[in-house]
């Protein structure tokens, strides 16, 4: 009997063992597939996170660029007004227009309180001005002090409201005017340098 059953048992055992081997292989394949899927998911998640971070950084960069553009636009408006006033002072020392001279003299009186101070609405923009720009603005302020002093001396004899009874001789006037002209040229040069720095930084995308 056992002799007759042996082939069948052998076949059954072979089938069971084969099935177990097949199941084991399938299980390993499934596990490997799950591991591959998990790894792919993690890689995709990391990639998505990096892409999101890059997009956020790019958006922040765009917003900062807009603010910098606005800040330097405001700076250029202010420099335009300052340059115009410096030119007016230079013109006034040679002008016979009493009203124009008096208006210019008033601007000189207000210089440290008005002209040298950026408009109040420009205050937030100053945070975006570079160190190079701020250094030139400080230099402009220092150089303008001598310019204003000389311009006042040059114009004072032309201002009736000042009540001066003396007249400067032509040589003294020429000396005073010469100092104003030199100061004007120096200030215009600084304004031009500020513009050049701003153009370079806007082109290269560099600020402080």
The per-residue pLDDT for 2 is 46
The per-residue pLDDT for 139 is 93
Within 144-208, strands assigned E span: none
For 66-119, write each residue's pLDDT tens digit. 888 888 888 999 999 999 999 999 999 988 888 898 888 888 888 888 777 888
State in Å, rounded, how far the first CA of the chain is from the last one.
Answer: 98
Question: What does 34-81 look like in DSSP terms, one character per residue?
Answer: HHHHHHHHHHHHHHHHHHHHHHHHHHHHHHHHHHHHHHHHHHHHHHHH
Q: How far apart are CA 181 and CA 151, in angstroms?
A: 9
The per-residue pLDDT for 23 is 47
Residue 10 pLDDT class (50, 70, 90 cuts): low
The per-residue pLDDT for 24 is 56
Neighbours of 88 (CB within 10 A): 14
For 13-55, write each residue's pLDDT tens digit. 455 455 444 545 555 566 666 666 667 656 766 676 677 677 7
Q: What are phi and psi of 51, to 5 degrees?
A: -65, -40
For the domain spanning 62-204, the CATH number is 1.20.120
Cβ atoms of residues 157 and 164 within 8 Å: yes
Q: How far apart are CA 138 and CA 120, in angstroms?
A: 18
The per-residue pLDDT for 12 is 45
Q: How far apart are CA 117 and CA 115, in angstroms?
A: 5
50 or 198, greater pLDDT: 198
The residues spanned by each domain of the chain are 62-204
Cβ atoms of residues 155 and 108 within 8 Å: yes
CA distances from 1 to 9, 15, 21, 202, 205 (A): 12, 21, 30, 100, 95
pTM of the prediction? Answer: 0.68
Residue 135 token pair? 């250094």
> Can you tell me the mean pLDDT for 174-196?
92
For 136-151, write each residue's pLDDT tens digit. 999 999 999 999 989 9
Per-residue H/E/C for 90-149 = HHHCCCCCHHHHHHHHHHHHCHHHHHCCCCHHHHHHHHHCCHHHHHHHHHHHHHHHHHHH
The per-residue pLDDT for 37 is 60
């Amino acid at each position: 009997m056992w002799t007759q059953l042996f082939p069948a048992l052998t076949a059954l055992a072979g089938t069971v063992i084969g099935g177990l081997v097949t199941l084991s292989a399938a299980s390993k394949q499934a596990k490997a597939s799950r591991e591959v899927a998990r790894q792919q998911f993690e890689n995709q998640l990391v990639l998505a996170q990096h892409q999101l971070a890059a997009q956020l950084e790019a958006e922040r960069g765009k917003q900062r660029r807009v603010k910098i553009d606005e800040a330097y636009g405001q700076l250029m408006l202010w420099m335009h007004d300052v340059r115009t006033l410096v030119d007016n002072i230079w013109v006034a020392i040679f002008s016979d227009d009493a009203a124009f001279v008096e208006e210019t003299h008033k601007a000189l009186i207000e210089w440290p309180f008005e002209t040298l101070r950026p408009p109040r609405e420009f205050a937030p923009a100053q945070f975006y001005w570079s160190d190079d720009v701020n250094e030139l603005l400080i230099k402009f302020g220092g150089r303008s002090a001598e310019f204003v002093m000389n311009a006042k001396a040059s114009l004072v004899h032309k201002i009736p409201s000042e009540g001066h009874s003396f007249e400067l001789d032509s040589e003294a006037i020429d000396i005073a005017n010469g100092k104003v002209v030199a100061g004007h040229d120096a200030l215009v040069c600084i304004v031009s340098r500020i513009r050049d720095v701003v153009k370079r930084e806007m082109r290269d995308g560099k600020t402080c």
